[in-house]
């Protein structure tokens, strides 16, 4: 399948306030997140390089020692193994990409 419509897929609540629709290509994992205002992503890290794109809303993101509020038109690049955390300042729609594929997301 080449074409995907998010409306055709059920979201899963992966963390409190984080509803995800997750897709795996041959090489990357894509996650579309609907995040409820006030939701917190605790500090964590993973081997995967991540990019985080804000599609709507405001997301406060901390990467290493740097914190920034991201809005549409802004994105972040998170190197593998870099600690990061987040706080949804409003309801948000966010697209994450992960490389390599997140095998830990395959059987959610």
- Using CB under 8 A, count the residues that bind a copy of itself: 33
Question: CA nearest 84: which of 51, 108, 107?
Answer: 51
Distances (CA, A) of 49 to 10, 12, 42, 56, 84: 25, 22, 18, 22, 12
Check binding of 89 to a copy of itself (CB under 8 A): no
For residue 23, the surrounding DSSP H or E stretch is strand 18-24
Of 68, 81, 83, 90, the one binding a copy of itself by CB under 8 A: 68
Check binding of 95 to a copy of itself (CB under 8 A): yes
Q: Cα angle at 34 between 107 and 58, to 5 degrees?
A: 135
Q: 37-66: which residues touch a copy of itself (CB under 8 A)?
A: 49, 51, 53, 55, 61, 63-64, 66
Check binding of 22 to a copy of itself (CB under 8 A): no
Interface residues toward a copy of itself, by CB under 8 A:
1-7, 23, 25-28, 30, 49, 51, 53, 55, 61, 63-64, 66, 68, 70, 73-79, 95, 97, 99
């Amino acid at each position: 399948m080449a074409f995907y419509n998010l409306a055709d897929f059920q979201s899963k609540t992966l963390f409190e306030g984080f509803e995800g629709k997750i897709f795996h290509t041959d090489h990357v994992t894509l996650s579309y997140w609907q995040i409820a205002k006030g939701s917190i992503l605790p500090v964590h890290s993973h081997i995967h390089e991540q990019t985080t794109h804000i599609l709507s809303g405001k997301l406060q993101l901390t990467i290493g020692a740097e914190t920034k509020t991201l809005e549409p038109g802004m994105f972040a690049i998170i190197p593998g193994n870099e600690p990061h955390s987040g706080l949804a300042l409003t309801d948000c729609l966010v697209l994450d990409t992960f490389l390599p594929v997140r095998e830990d997301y395959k059987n959610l």
